[in-house]
Amino acid sequence: GQNIDQPTEMTATEGAIVQINCTYQTSGFNGLFWYQQHAGEAPTFLSYNVLDGLEEKGRFSSFLSRSKGYSYLLLKELQMKDSASYLCAVMDSNYQLIWGAGTKLIIKP
């Protein structure tokens, strides 16, 4: 079966750096997406990786290793507004998104 694993919850301090991991086992791979979702709101797109390596976008970076079935989202200079759930999703061989359950990130002052 297809599976996406992420930690359920993480806690970090304002101003610090946090890394949210995602491992996947899917039938085929056509890219990995990260979304941010604040409580009760819609997911918003953060990043897309299809090749191995690091993609940097401001305070957020996303890394992919296809051989290891592994990705991480790196958040730097954490702000209180970064408190949210972070969703990892993989596009499989049928171009359907398979979603992880999300990682709830709690930022403390």
- In this structure, the strands spanning 9-13 and 3-5 are unpaired
**Shortest distance (Å) from residue 45 CB to another protein:** 5
Nearest distance from residue 107's CB to another protein, in Å? 21
SS3 of the chain: helix, strand, coil, percent, to 5: 5, 55, 40
Please identify, using beta-carbon distances, which residue of 4 and 73 lies nearer to another protein. 4
In the complex, the smallest distance separating the C-beta of residue 52 from another protein, rounded to whole angstroms, is 16
Looking at beta carbons only, is 81 or 95 nearer to another protein? 95
Q: Mapping DSSP to helix (H, G, I), strand (E, B) and coil, where does residue 23 land? A: strand
Residue 91's alpha-carbon distances to 6, 36, 72, 88, 105, in angstroms, are 16, 17, 16, 10, 24
CB closer to another protein out of 40 and 58 = 40
Binding residues (CB under 8 A) for another protein: these are 4, 8, 30-31, 33, 40-45, 48, 50, 87, 89, 91, 95-102
